[in-house]
Amino acid sequence: MGISEPFLQPEMASPDLDNRQQHLEYLMRRFGDKVLYLAYSYLHDRYWAEDVAQEVFIRVYTHLDKFEGRSSIYTWIYHITVNLCRDQLRALSRRREQEPVNYQEQAITGVEDRVLEKLQQQELWRAVLNLPLIYREVIWFYYYEQLGLKDIAKILGISLPAVKIRLYRARQHLQQVLKVGDGNA
């Protein structure tokens, strides 16, 4: 899955507007839901996740001609998504310092909302979402996206040993959280 996605073909980076639009549409169909779920796992907010997903594909479209094929298109898109999510989280922390944030609960409609709601209800998913970001992202890529450790290292821009350590610590943390949850039953 995922990383075996074929490299972007050279003709996909063609300046021909119709060709670029066709390739963007294909990439949005192929990776749109995955990008949305990844963004949601970072941001915990459906609307922010949708905004980030839109921005990801805007950047893919504008930089399609710069894609060099050194990694799969899947890895490239996920790298853009991770960077945009991190930027959003940094901006949010700066805004929180300046003004209080008012959250309003929105009515949940549509298929995407139901899928996200179902994921939120699962005990394991909640535990993953409560992990510190550095652990949550490796768990997401390893288990939910089924990426290899080397690919995760590329996407996150960290070393392979760092990925292994984060994955190990994330598993330990999840084990402790789930044991505490079982003890309270």
Backbone angles phi, psi at 142, to 5 degrees: -75, -50
pLDDT at 163: 94
- State yes or no: pLDDT of 31 exceeds 90: yes
Pairwise pLDDT comparison (13 vs 149), residue with the higher score: 149
Mean pLDDT, to the nearest integer, of 152-158?
Answer: 91
**C-alpha distances in Å from residue 26, one per residue of 37, 109, 160:** 18, 26, 31
Mean pLDDT, to the nearest integer, of 50-61?
Answer: 91
Read off the pLDDT band of 117 (50, 70, 90): low
Mean pLDDT, to the nearest integer, of 93-100?
Answer: 56
Give all domains of the chain, ordered by start, each with its CATH number.
1-109 (1.10.1740.10), 122-185 (1.10.10.10)
Please report, in angstroms and rounded to a whole number, the separation of the first and last CA atoms in the chain.
37
pLDDT at 100: 44
